Amino acid sequence: MEAGAHKGSDTVELAKMWPEGTIHAFEPVPQLYKKLKKNTRNYGNILCYPLALGDTTGLNKMYISEGASDASSSLLPPKEHLTIFPSIYFDDTLQVATLTLDDWAKKNYITSIDFFWLDLQGMELKVLKSGSTILKTVKAIYSEVSSIEGYEGQNLYYELQAWLGKQGFHVEREAVENGEGNVFFLRNSEKMH
């Protein structure tokens, strides 16, 4: 499962890595979703959803990033992101459909997910907490992390790490520089191959 699929470049790589698996790709921004659908159309193992995973089910405001990057949109209002990346701005908002992880799984008859790929601009922990049932089936999580409050109310890396530790995950690999990066969490019962 990939949340924050953008235009689908990582989605395609995931589909190639796991040709026998199903990649569930989420992208709520309409113009990006259109490109995601186009870029993944030749892969029968990719299912695309024009919605955001969130901590509530319904309609929510999304802050749309523009300028130097269209890959920073978030359900959370920008904060330090504006200072760190002044060439990226958030002049527009959009109402987007959101589902919690567990509501999405139930609605789509999904009973297990092996792997989460999360790029949710500060919403990672909130989304994981919304999926307590489906999370029990997850073996590994690759997540964007930050030690800086780039978005108002986002959970910081140490909070995500501590919460996932209580759910039975440990940090297997970490690529964090200047407080931001990506971390691969592995369930304690799993072994790297």
- DSSP letters spanning 95-157: EEEEE-HHHHHHHTT----SEEEE--TT-HHHHHHTTHHHHTT--EEEEEEESS--BTTPPPH
Q: What pLDDT score was predicted for residue 85?
A: 93
- In this prediction, residue 41 has a pLDDT band, given cuts at 50, 70 and 90, of very high
Give me the mean pLDDT over the 175-193 stretch: 88
The model's pLDDT over 115-167, given as tens digits with 9 standing for 90+, comes to: 999 999 999 999 999 999 999 999 999 999 999 999 999 999 999 999 999 99
Give me the mean pLDDT over the 94-114 stretch: 97
> How far apart (Å, rounded) are the C-alpha atoms in residues 132 and 128?
7
User: Does the pLDDT value for residue 193 go beyond 60?
Assistant: no
Does the domain spanning 2-187 belong to CATH 3.40.50.150? yes
Tokens of 175: 């690529």
Helix axes 30-39, 9-17, angle to 10 degrees: 40
> 10 Å Cβ neighbour count for 86?
10
Q: What pLDDT score was predicted for residue 192?
A: 63
Dmax over CA atoms of the chain, in Å, equals 45
CA 130, chain centre distance (Å)? 13
Give me the mean pLDDT over the 58-78 stretch: 96
AA letter at 180:
E
Averaged pLDDT of the chain: 96
Q: What pLDDT score was predicted for residue 155?
A: 94
> How far apart (Å, rounded) are the C-alpha atoms in residues 120 and 76?
10
pTM: 0.94
Q: What pLDDT score was predicted for residue 86?
A: 95
Q: What pLDDT score was predicted for residue 42?
A: 96
Q: What pLDDT score was predicted for residue 179?
A: 86
